[in-house]
Amino acid sequence: MEGLFGRFRLLLAPMAGVSDAAMRCLCAQQGADLAYTEMVSAKGLSFANDKTRHLLDMEPQERWAGVQLFGHEPHTMAAQAAWIEQEMGERLACIDINMGCPACKIVSKGDGSALMKDPMLAADIVSAVRAAVACPVTVKMRRGWSADEGECAPAFAQRMEAAGADAVCVHGRFSTQMYQGSSDRGVIARVKEALSIPVIGNGDVRCGADAVRMRDETGCDAIMIARGAQGNPWIFAEARAALAGMPVPASPTAIERIDMARRHASLLQRREGRVLVRMRKHAMWYVAGLPGAAAARGALNRCVTCEDFDQVFDQLMERATEHGA
């Protein structure tokens, strides 16, 4: 696994409804070393659900992808991890087991961060998946379940290492915090100190300076970026320069942001066909703060096709040009 992170240092996080093939490609072009799929349901795969399997689709230019799998049944998790490895072959960088998602619809079924309340079951899942695949197996986790119950990440991570995990990714919030408050980098440092396997730092990396702080304050082996990449694939170029001690690239202009949004819509159309409802949120992120963006929000929410988005982007481009942005 150390060899893996010798190549992969800046990672695009697995984000439900966000880290599709189009976004993965754009972030890779800007410097992401590895991008993860949206989280994939092991149970859905076991039912041969086409919608679930579609999450594993890759663009031809994608060399690698990490796949994040969620579920709470060791046998199902192991069987579907083995199927993924067989299907993807050398394009599979690793299987990541989701033990960090705080969404109610996930934890209510015993999946995601709910597994942090049952370390024995969590360890059984890791052991089963590790025995089923040859690729690296990683675990994405949080600081713990709640502040009232206290931090358990270092001890939990040790259990995952003992069960066979090749690396862990730590997000510095408790599950009950969801995405509120600040991510605690100290817990990532404490997990790093407790383990002999690589540790990935995650949480509140929104610029190059944040990436440097994450590295310097935690000693982590790799950095995972999530919300900071939404509408901003350039964050990987910025983080790469900052980590290398090089001048940080200039922020993208309004025109560059709109052009990137067009590219994203075009990639999605190639993958998903004419109806591009999921592009709406991406478009909002790309144009946030631009001249006319607030007024365009309603129009973007009505867009269905690539042509619809292009019309709104054309209007925003005119406004940006008028303002010299």
Q: Which residues contact 284 (CB under 8 A, 6 or more apart)?
A: 231, 297, 300
Q: Count of CB atoms within 10 A of residue 274's CB?
A: 9
**Terminal CA-to-CA distance of the chain, rounded, Å?**
44
Residue whose C-alpha is closest to residue 154's, from 166, 168, 165, 164? 168
Residue whose C-alpha is closest to residue 139's, from 261, 14, 28? 14
Please tell me whether residue 293 adopts helix, strand or coil conformation.
Answer: helix
With tokens 């996930």, the residue in question is 106
Please identify every residue annotated as catalytic: 101
* String of DSSP letters for 146-164: -TTT---HHHHHHHHHHHT
Residue whose C-alpha is closest to residue 153's, from 134, 139, 166? 139
**Residue 26, both tokens:** 């754009």
Q: Count of CB atoms within 10 A of residue 75's CB?
A: 14
DSSP letter, residue 14: P
> Please, are residues 29 and 63 in contact by the beta-carbon 8 Å criterion?
no
Q: Which amino acid is at 222?
A: A
**Angle formed by the axes of helices 306-322 and 254-272, to 10°?**
180
> Please, are residues 236 and 248 in contact by the beta-carbon 8 Å criterion?
no
> Please, are residues 257 and 287 in contact by the beta-carbon 8 Å criterion?
yes
